[in-house]
Chains A and B, each alone.
Chain A
Amino acid sequence: MITLALLFWVVIFFLFYKVLVYFKSIEILGEILLAKLMAVVFLTFFLMLVVSNIITSLSTYFLSEDTKLILTLPVSTEKVYLSKYLITLAHSSWMVLLFGIPVFMAYGAVYGASIGYYLWLATILLVFLLIPGGVGVMISMSLVNLVPARRARGALVVLFVLVLAALYLFFRFLQPEKLVNPEKFSELIDYLAMLRLPTSPFLPSHWATRSLFPLLKGQFDESMFFFLLLLSSGLMSALAGSWVCRLLYYRGWSRSYESREGGIKRMPLLEGFFDFLMRPLHESTKAMVMKDMRIFLRDARQWSQLILLCALVVVYLFNFKVLPLNKVPGITFYLENIISFLNVGLAGFVLSAVAVRFTYPAISLEGRAFWIMMSSPVELRRLIWSKFWTSLVPLLLLAEALIILSNTFLHVTQFMMIISTVTIFLVTIAIVSMGIGIGAIYPRFQVEDVAQIHSGFGGLIYMIICVTFIGMVILLEAWPTYLIFMARIGGRYLTLAQWIEVIFCLCLTVFIILAAIFVPIKLGLKRLSRLEM
């Protein structure tokens, strides 16, 4: 499993490596682009870290169970602040570090940087984390004094997801692919002119870039100056955090227990509709599905992720709408059908990303209340399948909508339409099954924050297995699809040898899909039935 995680890390490294090598090969502009890209990466990390630190600190300082005990002990506010600050930093920064390190290592590899660069990188990253940590804690301290922590966290999560979705849509609708179109070259010059403008010299991302980038070429220039700027600001923000903590912590903590989290309590129409849909189901299965649905709609941390999902779908379809396939005369027909085939893989990947947030945590979301299921006369098999169906129906609808609409935009042949809709149907079932199964193998009933479920080790493993599975299915289907497609285009029949190849590949595909559907569920069930509470 650790090998698979490392593999994923290596993939990020190589992807960035390829992009950076390409950028570097562009004369004159390459260097500027690389520096700007590093600044953008740092800025993105900085913004993500600030928001992530706000959300995490609301949990660590105000809502975590151990706080109740700690505050009754003769421990100074400064010590509480410092210990919680370090926990907040660790919780909110590990993901950024995980994805950030291969990116910066790719920079090092492209420039053939010395060991000094890597040592400096480690130092810069550690110091860089301090500033968003302090800022995040200060914002959450102030916020909780205005709005109680439970409500603040719910509202913040929704706000965070909305901002992410808006940013995503904004950048996508700018259509950056136009910049590589020669007809739009004048716009590219304008774009680069904009890139030449310095980013704000007051931003830590700018200081980090200015400190790290020269090391790539073995120069030290102003690196130390910008490093000291980062370090002093980091320490200052941590210190300012402790002052704000002394002033506002107790009052905010007390307020955090004055209110409950907001949410929709009554939804008779929706419940009536679901009740009607689930008529054929067993009463206990129906009860489990309804329970999950109610909890989902009342927990802002869960339903707010739907906003991001909607943005993802809009952009996905928009990509197909604006694909400039007609600019390549002669091969448009083939290109459309090849892309349609690759589209199945891409849609599968999008579905995995959705499933890791909604399907994979399904079992863990039972939380510490799982004793109720274990002591009830309901077989765990029923629980697992209820979770399976709850996830499968919306994901199937999403998957088929993605494939049918994008294929319509691509004007693919009927044969390709059938192949892709059937494939995505089976792949979705397997993705859901693996999500529920692997989620049951790695249950996390004790987490205080639902986001910790999918961002943990099991979630990473699930994503890696999904990507591997989708890749295998696409590879196995590619050859027979190509043979049949070409035969139909040429008005020929397949030879006996070709038929054997087609049947062999398809049988193997079906075998892999069936294994992906049943094996994880079986293993998950086995793990759950051995579970002790």
Chain B
Amino acid sequence: MIQLIELTKRFGQLVAVDHVDLQVKRGEIFGFLGPNGAGKTTTIKMLAGLLKPTSGRALVDGFDVVTYPMEAKRAIGFIPDQPFLYEKLTGIEFLRFIGSLFGMEKAEIEWRISDLLGLFELDGWRDELIEGYSHGMKQRLVMSAALLHNPKVIIVDEPMVGLDPKGINLVKRIFRQKSEEGVTIFLSTHTLEIAQQLCHRLGIINGGKLIAAGTIPELMAVLEDKTDQTGTLESLFLALTGKSLHE
């Protein structure tokens, strides 16, 4: 469902993403881990169409994001880490606007909005201007917008930022449910616990290079090979990104 082929992004001299090769299957929840500045957000932005690759390709649902951007974007529900929205629209107006951009039928937009506002507990705020929403509410509104058109792929940058424990629990439940329905989820996170609980497979990126990818047992095996000892996901992450546990 998602395929990255030699994907590279340079900003002048800086190589933010360096020849990344990766495949994510249908219905899979793939966690993208890495320290700050490793290239997670850059990769996600290239998938979402906000950045253009310097070289290599990124395919979503079989469509190249550069040569067939409309088809690729139609398959994606994108959730950024910072929920910048049209502050002067109400929640329901914003969702209707997004539905129209994705070419949905009016009736379909209305019942999907009704479902999603209930699911994300924004019912009471539907007619309030977004400028009055808290950060967490804006984040939940962005998630509603991303799920509105029933995307085949959900791309999320730091999904739990700004959410309270109840919200985090809700999002985990929704992602699992979506995954069971065959939706592919590509998420970047710093929170190893969430990655461990939620993801079928993980990829670890450091200095723009994908240094490891696989299921948690597969990655643990890598750790054992490297250090001759068993450990946790945290120790694996630190070992692979070149930092000791004492750092």
Q: Which residues of A contact B (CB under 8 A)?
A: 260-261, 263, 265, 283-284, 286-288, 290-291, 294-295, 298-299, 367-369, 371-379, 530, 532-533
Most chain A CB atoms below 10 A, which of B49, B52, B74, B98:
B49
Q: From the candidates A261, A298, A369, name the one contacting B84 in the complex (CB within 8 A).
A: A369
Bound complex: CA of A299 vs CA of B84, how far in Å?
17
Complex alpha-carbon distance, A295 and B97, angstroms: 13
For B96, the closest partner residue in chain A by CB is A287
Contacts of A287 in B (CB 8 A): 96-97, 100-101
CB-CB under 8 A for A298 and B88, given A377-B103, A532-B50, A532-B52: yes
CB-nearest residue of chain B relative to A374?
B50
Q: Can you list 13 residue pairs at the A/B interface with Cβ under 8 Å?
A: A260-B131, A265-B129, A286-B100, A290-B97, A367-B86, A369-B84, A375-B49, A375-B73, A376-B102, A377-B70, A377-B73, A532-B52, A533-B45
Cβ of A299: which chain B residues have Cβ within 8 Å of it?
Answer: 88
Is there an interface contact between A265 and B50, defined as CB atoms closer than 8 Å? Answer: no
Tell me whether B93 is interfacial, beta carbon within 8 Å.
yes
Residue of B whose beta carbon sits closest to that of A376 = B101
How many positions in chain B have a CB within 8 Å of any CB in the partner chain? Answer: 33
| A271: nearest chain-B partner, CB-CB | B93
User: Would you give the shortest CB distance from A504 to chain B, in whole angstroms?
Assistant: 44
CB distance from B226 to the nearest CB of A (A): 36
Are A298 and B129 touching (Cβ within 8 A)?
Answer: yes
In the assembly, what is the distance between CA of A533 and CA of B98, in Å? 19
B35 adjacent to chain A (CB < 8 Å): no
Contacts of B129 in A (CB 8 A): 260, 263, 265, 298
Fill in one digit per residue for B45-67: 1 if any A CB lies within 8 Å of its CB, else 0: 10011111000000000000000
Residues of A near B80 (CB, < 8 A) are 371
Cα A81 to Cα B74 in complex, Å, equals 49
Give the residues in chain B near A286, CB-CB below 8 Å. 100
| Contact between chains at B132 and A260 (CB < 8 Å) | yes
- Contact call B89/A294, Cβ cutoff below 8 A: yes
Q: Which residues of B contact A371 (CB under 8 A)?
A: 48, 50, 80, 84
Q: Report A-chain residues with C-beta under 8 Å of the C-beta of B71.
A: 377
Distance to closest chain B CB from A369 (angstroms)? 5
Check A376 against B86 for contact (C-beta < 8 Å): no
Q: How far is the CB of A487 from chain B (nearest CB, A)?
A: 55
Let me know if B122 is at the binding interface, CB within 8 A.
no
Q: How far is the CA of A379 from the CA of B73 in the complex (A)?
A: 11
Closest CB of chain B to A443's CB: distance in Å?
Answer: 14
Known pairs A375-B49, A377-B70, A533-B50; A369 contacts B131 (CB<8 A): no
Chain B interface residues toward A at CB < 8 A = 45, 48-52, 69-71, 73-74, 76, 78, 80, 82, 84-86, 88-90, 93, 96-98, 100-103, 127, 129, 131-132
- Shortest CB–CB separation between residue A282 and chain B, in angstroms? 9
The docked-state distance in angstroms from the alpha carbon of A135 to that of B89 is 35
For the complex, would chain B's binding face be called helix, strand, loop or mixed by DSSP majority? mixed
Q: Give the shortest distance, in Å, between A304 (CB) and chain B (any CB).
A: 14
A378 near B101 (CB under 8 angstroms)? yes
Given A265-B90, A377-B73, A533-B51, CB of A284 within 8 Å of CB of B78: no
B98 in contact with A372 (CB, 8 Å): yes
Which of chain A's residues have a CB closer than 8 A to the CB of B96? 287
Inter-subunit contact B70/A379 (CB<8 Å): yes
* Chain A residues near B103 (CB-CB < 8 A): 283-284, 377
Considering the complex, give the chain A residue whose CB is closest to the CB of B78.
A375
B45 to chain A: which residues have CB within 8 Å? Answer: 532-533
Tell me which residues across on chain B come within 8 A of A367, comparing CB atoms.
84, 86
Known: A284-B100, A371-B80. Is A291-B50 also a contact (CB below 8 A)? Answer: no
Query: Across the interface, which residues of A come within 8 angstroms of B132, CB to CB?
Result: 260
Chain B residues positioned under 8 Å from A373 (CB to CB): 101
Residues of A within 8 A of B49 (CB): 374-375
* Contacts A260-B132, A291-B86, A291-B89; A284 near B51 (Cβ below 8 A): no
- Chain B residue numbers with a CB within 8 Å of A295 are 86, 88-89
- Contacts A265-B127, A286-B100 known; A294 to B74 CB distance under 8 Å? no
Partner of B101, one of A263, A284, A368, A532: A284
Residue on B with the closest CB to A445? B84
Chain A residue nearest to B52 (CB atoms) is A532
A155 to B97, CA, bound (A): 29
Shortest B139–chain A CB gap in Å is: 14
Cα distance A369–B88 in the bound complex, in angstroms: 11
Residues in chain A near residue B98, CB distance under 8 A:
372, 376
Most buried by A among B52, B71, B97: B97
Bound together, the chains give a CA A368 to CA B86 distance in angstroms of 9
Chain B positions within 8 Å of A532 at CB level: 45, 50-52
Complexed CA–CA distance, A284 and B96 (Å): 10
Inter-chain contacts of B78 with A (CB < 8 A): 375
Instruction: Check if B97 sits within 8 Å of A291, measured CB to CB.
Output: yes
In order of increasing CB-CB distance, the 10 nearest A-B pairs are A287-B100, A368-B84, A377-B73, A376-B101, A377-B74, A298-B88, A295-B88, A533-B50, A375-B78, A377-B70
Cross-chain contact A376 with B84 (CB below 8 angstroms)? no
B73 touches A263 (CB 8 A): no
- Chain B residues lying within 8 Å of A377, measured Cβ to Cβ, are 69-71, 73-74, 101-103
CB-CB nearest in chain A for B72? A377
B13 to chain A, nearest CB (A): 17
User: Which residue on chain A has the smallest CB distance to residue B45?
Assistant: A533
Report the separation of the CA atoms of residues A291 and B76 in the bound assembly, to the nearest whole angstrom: 22
Q: Which residues of A contact B52 (CB under 8 A)?
A: 530, 532
Chain B nearest Cβ from A434, distance in angstroms = 26
How many whole Å from B146's CB to the nearest CB in chain A?
9
Chain A residues, Cβ within 8 Å of B69: 377
Which A residue's beta carbon lies closest to that of B82? A368
Q: Complex formed: what's the CA distance from A532 to B132 in Å?
A: 29
Contact of A294 among B76, B84, B93 (CB under 8 A): B93
Q: Taking the nearest CB of chain A, how far is it from the CB of B158, in angstroms?
A: 15
